[in-house]
Structure 1
Amino acid sequence: MNDIKKRLANLSPKQQEQVLEKLRQQQLIQTAKESQVIPVISREQVIPLSFAQQRLWFLEKMALSSNAYNMPLTLHLVGKLDYVALQKSLNQIIARHETLRTTFSEINGTPVQIIKPPFELELPKKDLSELTPSEATTKLQQLLQQENELSFNLEVDPPIRAGLFQLGTTEHILQITLHHIASDGWSLTVLPKELSAIYTAALEDQPSPLPPLPIQYADFAVWQKNYLQGQTLETQLSYWKQKLLDLPQLQLPTDHPRPPVQTFNGAGIPINIPAALTSKVKQLTQKQGTTLFMTLLAAFKVLLSRYSGQQSIPVGTPIANRNRSEIEGLIGFFVNSLVMYTDLGGDPSFTEVLNRVKQTALEAYSHQDIPFEKLVEELQPERALSQNPLFQVVFAVQQSEIFKPSFNLPNLEVGWYEGAGAQMTVRFDIELHLWPVGEEIKGFCAYNTDLFSAETISRMVSHYQNLLSAAVETPSGPISQLPLMTEPELDQILVEWNNTKTDYPTDKCIHQLFEEQVEKNPDAVAVVFEEQKLTYSQLNTKANQLAHYLQKLGVVPETLVGICVERSAEMVVGLLAILKAGGAYVPLDPAYPQERLEYMFADSQVSVLLTQEQLLAQLPQHQAQVVLLDKDWEKIATETPEKVESEVSPQNLAYVIYTSGSTGKPKGVLVEHKGLCNLATVQMQGFQVNSNSRVVQFASLSFDASISEIVIALGSGASLYMGSRDTLMPGVGMSQWLRNNKITHITIPPSALAVMPKEELPSLKTIVVAGEACPPELISQWSVGRQFVNAYGPTESTVCATMAECSPEC
């Protein structure tokens, strides 16, 4: 140690800090606790669990972990294998490490370790050599998956299992499965090395060449409890309590809703940082006096900030916690987690982020002795069964030896079996693992498949590399300016995906789309209201007659014509007539309060009003010329049914609809024919509306969804089905009406759909929900076997701006 101090004294302050940090990260720096010897305790006393073991025991007891904490070690052995020597070697390792023969129990509610005497581990052998190679591979993957899914009963089972699969005379697969409560990543490097030494000796009938272990895990667990008390605990805790005060949760956008109870279903996406970029990363690292871990973490934090929109970014990182010589050779659960919490506020440069991450890391290493579980216990963050406390994203830079330790067995070629079909388990939302390999940096991004899709994580990994590349090129620029996307990605988003031009009748008005259907199918049913039916020809005739009548009253393009009628076929006649005459309709719902109707009359200054005799008494005073669609029809019917001529163009108004007025007085929104024709064309195609369709007219005429319903039906030759207010009251009656009339298309608010009875409606092909947020359970229930579209749009954008087709998996 004195030699190290002398050598440090010859370095510059910056170099000293670099070396010290590196020593800390590798856990080689001497701390005060190293002067204490971990004593060997009596095995007669009650042996507590370590802090880390306590959390896993809790998860196991609550049945929350499933097989998430299984740690498989799968080896591919080619050559002459001595089965007896292999089994003997495994049993010697079990005899050597008490953790591998420890079960767990509770005494008065307190969990304790029960160390069992050495035992003979079964090594079942499964012969697959009689199968064809493809059959053997398939069967092997099934067996490995079954083994991986098998949980440990920690109260009964030792935390180790093993199995041998024979693929041929000289080819075997050895799978050793450990439970995390008795092992960690470091342990998975200890076990193969000991297996190599003991197996080599066993072949020669020699005793194990390994020296006795100075202590066992139980000794460490007791010492840890005694060490973390008083001033030591207080010093460590006070730092973390201050550092993690008001720690936010990282809110990454997910592809799927977070399950109420955490799941561990995972997958991984590989990452490869090429040599050229790795070189620049290392150069920046050296220049800034940081470590490779810090530089890569800084870039990852910037990525998470950009994805989440948050400035305070907590990330967990594992630390081996093997900073004492006597525990380096133990198999056991030593690994600790540190919370790397950095504030990226103020749009700093990447260089400044590096400095902040460096400061965070140095402080964390200086206070690494407190177990993560003890930290959670003391901080008492808000807990949820759906996710981990304190952090949900993990970042680690490790040596490749941790993932694939190198070792040899006599007479055998030893490799890591790559074809393991076992599904990956993950314990966090996202885990980014990186390690240097030669001139490159390789790794993988593990993720929870119940939260993210593979496509999302692949894109995220790509964005990480893009951001890292930009950061090392312009480290002094603000992080907000670092590009995430490649040029092709930008082109796709800004150009390709925005190339949404589609052909639609730019030279036509909406009523002309209806007239085209009259020419094609004059005798097809256009409108159905209760017992009344109008064919396309009949509807066109009535609309033409009324349009001629309106023109004589002075209706020309841009004339606002009010329409205040009950649901009826006459409502559709009136609407079409206004449009044919060249005017724009203004819907006035007779159910509206007097005050609202008064305001709408006064504000719109409608010059003509279409209504019905029974509604006259409830209308406020106004100056409009009144046309009664019921009482005056005999006079209207004397008009010619011939086609109406007007100077209306696609640029003229089609309607004025008043918004709800939730932010003040209602405002009239003016919508032109061209937008309506565009909408009709897109929705007829998107909702697959054709001449055989039956479309419900559900919405009030005062809501713009009504015009969508009307135009997609009458613009495609379909039948528009109307009902009274009572008929269309969501519930059993409406459901029966939909069934009886074999309705194929409906647009409905989610709240109305939610009260519909859960029954089969075999004719219903398309459901469009709009006007409110749609709960996932409605999608799951109603999207099975049919098209389910979630639509949204402000009135100003002509009814609908976005449409998303949903499935039960959404």
Structure 2
Amino acid sequence: SRNPLFQVLFNHQSQARLASTSQQLPDLRIEGLEWGTQTAQFDLSLDTQETVDGLWATLTYATDLFDAATPNRMARHWQNLLQAMLDDPHQRVAQLPLLEPLEHQVIVEQWNDTAQDYRLEDSVQRQIEAQVRRTPNAQALVFGAQTLSYTQLNARANRLAHRLIQAGVAPDVLVGVAMERSTEMVVALLAVLKAGGAYVPLDPDYPRERLAYMLQDSNVPLLLTQAHLLQALPVSAPSHCLVVEPDDQWLSEYADTDPDVAVDAENLAYVIYTSGSTGQPKGAGNRHCALTNRLLWMQQAYTLGAEDTVLQKTPFSFDVSVWEFFWPLMTGARLVVAAPGDHRDPSKLVELINRHQVTTLHFVPSMLHAFLQDSQVASCQGLRRIICSGEALPVGVQQHVFAELPNTGLFNLYGPTEAAIDVTHWTCVDEHRDSVPIGRPISNLRTYVLDAQLQPVAVGIAGELYLGGVGLARSYHRRPSLTAERFVPCPFQPGTRLYRTGDRVRQRRDGVIEYIGRLDHQVKLRGLRIELGEIEARLLEHPLVRDASVQVHEGKYLVGYVVLQDSTLAWRDALSTHLLAHVPDYMVPAQWVLLDHMPLSPNGKLDRKALPAPDSNLHERHFVAARNTLEQALVAIWREVLELEQVSVEDNFFELGGHSLLVLMLKERIRKAVGVELSVSQLMLNPSVAGQAACLEGSAGSSLIVRLNSQSRGTPLYLFHPSYGSVHCYKAIALALREHRPVMGVMCRALAEEGSEVPAWAAMVEDYTTQLLKAQPEGPFRLAGWSLGGNLAMEVAYGLEQAG
């Protein structure tokens, strides 16, 4: 091997061997020789010599790895250690100081000199009310065809706020909000703040059990929701729910004046639940002062004005959405809210950006990469700011933005949910570096890179990132022990706290922070924060599983490793179905690996590095080769996108490692290769080559009937859509029945065909009856549906009977 056994050498020569500079032996004299070599034999070597005059040292380094400042700094740190040992020989090694006093002062104090005199007592809702008085008739909110002025939005929120106050909402009272993106969602969030409460976002797409846990753990006395979602929510007492209506006359008996509610800076503004390592999500409660500080810094840094439009597209269960909602409303800008699902489709985002002249929006870097693949992205020349956060920003994506959108500013932000959205910022520049930094702390925040003893590490040395300042969350909701574990006393400012992020970082010589990775098993996948321990804990609850581990494969998708109690052919489906009932679908492994036993390290712990790489071709499936030119073209595209050697036309895209962002790449590749564009909905609801080929050929007719599993034998089960038109809600049951029969979804025509209107009831039933007879001319039929879908199934059954 050409790789050396080691890269760093320490070589010490004792005084006994060098008692004199020369030695005389019979017929031989030995003298020391100074050898002025210019070549480093190792990356770094420290040679020390004891002489009668003292201790001498030489530090030799490879100049292609280190600049002169780095080894000079190392030498000073080594001298500091030696001096500290002499000053106090009884001091513990872990407490010996590396840094010089001036260096310590720069790292701890100078780089954290972020003080700004913001009026933190002015809450976000009060600043929005002040903006209403300044620009009462300006456009505040746009959602589809709906438009509200600042006065109209404020009046709606005020009426709802007075209703909430009547229901007992007050400072530090939590209010659940379970809504889809809409005008009503913005009104509800603002109303909760105006009433003095703190909102708890509950994503309706989450599994029912997860929502039930969040409702129970947060103990919200009131839940705001929409009529079409009410039946899907795990709420036992409807009296505790308040349906927010779209009608402008709703709650007209309540005053539209600003409520007079005193809110303290320490009161909670929102509680957002994140993945938890113990198997259950945990709620981080953020304070008004932290939110106000974050938004005032953002305005100072990026200066939104009346000419700006912000696109709100982040799911409101993620804290980036908080600034998307409230920053534009504080500053007189216009807020455009994307329709549910549009945030996943680059072509729709391009259309939204251009139609509404959007100047500012946020991207998770992986979604930004997908957005940049769209052929029309260069048309978005009105964009002034792209703000990235959620995961590491690759240099390649940064350079792609500079190439496609040269007049757009790109900003890389970093922050955990436990610290009011973002805590560091970086303005991206076109420079040759290996990584994009996360930058410096924002106003009134402090960042420390510390070792295990909470001592600052030297420049360039990796350590854990700790956060201090006004931005920290108040606590984890009803988790005092976890709060004490993660929020620790600050050794530099007594009486204050630090939040330990678990992120491994280092600081450059100019104080700029570079992100390295995680110190624990928390991961970010496509911007989504995931505790692998939560998934593992859920897997261990299944009776089939004896042992389990979950890993991220090459930063692309989750892989589940399991040791089973009993072997069964459908174990993958059983475990996926089990997880779908407990965690969001992005936390379900895309691939599974069955092991006889988990690899262990010598001390008996799981050796994660020894877990084998997944082999997607080991799936127990029937291989079907491409049967025509179109399927051959699609197979080639799949192999490229998924980086696989072999693809069956019956394979499921998501079971082979596909995910929502790869769907976007697949969509663009198909458009370029075939010349026909399939919608994201069509691709996700037809996740096989065969199904996508049928869509392209038009053989699926209107594409209202979509395959939900890969089974081809048996009488199909047709599941009719509920009120919101999609059939995604049947994913778990389709997976559970994959070994038994085909499961087909009947989706709403308005969702399947862009631009179509929702038909009248009788026309809808007639349409679905016709589609079923085309797909299956003879009986028997198996029909079912949930909520509105149940009524549709019954009516279509009557229609089939009448058709003979």
For the superposition of Structure 1 and Structure 2, which TM-score range results when normalised by the shorter chain? 0.3 to 0.5
Greater RCO (Cα-Cα under 8 Å, separation 6 or more): 1
Q: Rg larger in 1 or in 2?
A: 1
The TM-score with structure 2 as length reference comes to: 0.45
The TM-score with structure 1 as length reference comes to: 0.45
